[in-house]
Amino acid sequence: MYPIILKVHLAVVAISLVIFLGRSLLALAGSAKAGHPLALKGAGAMLLLVLLSAAGLCVSIGQYPFVDGWLTEKLIGLVAYVALGIISLKRAGSKPVQLVLAAAALAAFAATFTVARQHAGFLL
Protein backbone atom coordinates (compact mmCIF):
# COMPACT_ATOMS: atom_id res chain seq x y z
CA MET A 1 0.00 0.00 0.00
CA TYR A 2 2.94 2.35 0.72
CA PRO A 3 3.96 2.75 -2.95
CA ILE A 4 0.42 3.77 -3.95
CA ILE A 5 0.05 6.28 -1.12
CA LEU A 6 3.49 7.70 -1.92
CA LYS A 7 2.60 8.19 -5.59
CA VAL A 8 -0.68 9.88 -4.66
CA HIS A 9 1.15 12.09 -2.15
CA LEU A 10 3.78 13.14 -4.68
CA ALA A 11 1.11 13.84 -7.30
CA VAL A 12 -0.98 16.07 -5.03
CA VAL A 13 2.16 17.86 -3.80
CA ALA A 14 3.09 18.58 -7.44
CA ILE A 15 -0.44 19.77 -8.26
CA SER A 16 -0.43 21.97 -5.16
CA LEU A 17 2.84 23.55 -6.25
CA VAL A 18 1.53 24.17 -9.78
CA ILE A 19 -1.61 25.81 -8.37
CA PHE A 20 0.50 28.05 -6.12
CA LEU A 21 2.81 29.03 -8.97
CA GLY A 22 -0.14 29.77 -11.25
CA ARG A 23 -1.94 31.84 -8.64
CA SER A 24 1.27 33.70 -7.81
CA LEU A 25 1.89 34.58 -11.44
CA LEU A 26 -1.70 35.73 -11.83
CA ALA A 27 -1.46 37.83 -8.66
CA LEU A 28 1.81 39.41 -9.77
CA ALA A 29 0.19 40.25 -13.10
CA GLY A 30 -2.64 41.96 -11.21
CA SER A 31 -5.31 39.49 -12.27
CA ALA A 32 -8.33 38.98 -10.03
CA LYS A 33 -8.37 35.34 -11.18
CA ALA A 34 -5.72 34.55 -8.54
CA GLY A 35 -8.47 34.84 -5.92
CA HIS A 36 -11.20 33.15 -7.96
CA PRO A 37 -13.33 30.81 -5.80
CA LEU A 38 -12.44 27.82 -7.99
CA ALA A 39 -8.71 28.52 -7.54
CA LEU A 40 -9.19 28.84 -3.77
CA LYS A 41 -11.21 25.61 -3.57
CA GLY A 42 -8.64 23.79 -5.70
CA ALA A 43 -5.79 24.95 -3.50
CA GLY A 44 -7.69 23.98 -0.36
CA ALA A 45 -8.61 20.57 -1.75
CA MET A 46 -5.00 19.88 -2.72
CA LEU A 47 -3.78 20.90 0.74
CA LEU A 48 -6.31 18.55 2.33
CA LEU A 49 -5.19 15.71 0.05
CA VAL A 50 -1.53 16.45 0.86
CA LEU A 51 -2.30 16.18 4.58
CA LEU A 52 -4.42 13.03 4.23
CA SER A 53 -1.85 11.26 2.06
CA ALA A 54 0.93 12.36 4.44
CA ALA A 55 -1.02 10.89 7.35
CA GLY A 56 -1.39 7.65 5.39
CA LEU A 57 2.36 7.57 4.78
CA CYS A 58 3.07 8.17 8.47
CA VAL A 59 0.86 5.27 9.47
CA SER A 60 2.33 2.97 6.83
CA ILE A 61 5.95 3.60 7.91
CA GLY A 62 5.18 3.93 11.63
CA GLN A 63 6.82 7.35 12.02
CA TYR A 64 5.07 10.49 13.20
CA PRO A 65 5.65 14.25 13.63
CA PHE A 66 6.74 15.28 17.14
CA VAL A 67 8.17 11.77 17.56
CA ASP A 68 10.53 11.63 14.59
CA GLY A 69 12.55 14.79 14.00
CA TRP A 70 12.55 14.76 10.22
CA LEU A 71 8.75 14.53 10.11
CA THR A 72 8.49 17.39 12.59
CA GLU A 73 10.68 19.50 10.30
CA LYS A 74 8.59 18.44 7.31
CA LEU A 75 5.42 19.55 9.08
CA ILE A 76 6.99 22.88 10.11
CA GLY A 77 8.14 23.39 6.51
CA LEU A 78 4.65 22.67 5.21
CA VAL A 79 3.13 25.18 7.64
CA ALA A 80 5.74 27.77 6.60
CA TYR A 81 5.06 27.13 2.88
CA VAL A 82 1.30 27.49 3.34
CA ALA A 83 1.54 30.55 5.60
CA LEU A 84 4.00 32.37 3.35
CA GLY A 85 1.93 31.44 0.31
CA ILE A 86 -1.26 32.78 1.85
CA ILE A 87 0.44 35.99 2.93
CA SER A 88 2.02 36.48 -0.49
CA LEU A 89 -1.32 36.01 -2.24
CA LYS A 90 -3.63 37.86 0.14
CA ARG A 91 -1.77 40.21 2.47
CA ALA A 92 1.26 41.48 0.58
CA GLY A 93 1.05 45.24 0.13
CA SER A 94 3.18 45.72 -2.96
CA LYS A 95 4.46 43.63 -5.86
CA PRO A 96 8.07 43.52 -4.57
CA VAL A 97 6.90 42.30 -1.15
CA GLN A 98 4.61 39.80 -2.83
CA LEU A 99 7.50 38.52 -4.93
CA VAL A 100 9.79 38.15 -1.90
CA LEU A 101 7.09 36.30 0.06
CA ALA A 102 6.34 33.99 -2.87
CA ALA A 103 10.08 33.25 -3.18
CA ALA A 104 10.23 32.55 0.56
CA ALA A 105 7.27 30.18 0.21
CA LEU A 106 9.08 28.36 -2.60
CA ALA A 107 12.23 28.16 -0.46
CA ALA A 108 10.17 26.62 2.36
CA PHE A 109 8.74 24.16 -0.16
CA ALA A 110 12.22 23.25 -1.39
CA ALA A 111 13.51 22.75 2.16
CA THR A 112 10.50 20.59 3.00
CA PHE A 113 10.99 18.55 -0.15
CA THR A 114 14.67 18.04 0.71
CA VAL A 115 13.83 16.84 4.22
CA ALA A 116 11.17 14.50 2.83
CA ARG A 117 13.49 13.11 0.18
CA GLN A 118 16.36 12.44 2.61
CA HIS A 119 14.22 11.34 5.57
CA ALA A 120 16.59 13.51 7.60
CA GLY A 121 16.07 16.95 8.99
CA PHE A 122 18.32 19.97 8.96
CA LEU A 123 17.89 20.76 12.65
CA LEU A 124 16.13 17.91 14.50
Instruction: Tell whether 103 is covered by a domain.
Output: yes
Query: Which pLDDT tens digit goes with each residue over 38-96?
Result: 999 999 999 999 999 999 999 999 999 999 999 999 999 999 999 999 999 987 778 99
The alpha carbon torsion through 102, 107, 108, 114 (nearest 10 deg) reads 150
Number of structural domains the chain divides into? 1
CA distances (Å), origin 17, targets 93, 105, 123: 23, 10, 24
Instruction: Tell whether 123 is covered by a domain.
Output: no
Host domain of residue 64: 2-118
Q: Kindly report the pTM of this predicted structure.
A: 0.89
Instruction: Tell whether 124 is covered by a domain.
Output: no
Query: Which pLDDT tens digit goes with each residue over 9-34?
Result: 999 999 999 999 999 999 999 888 98
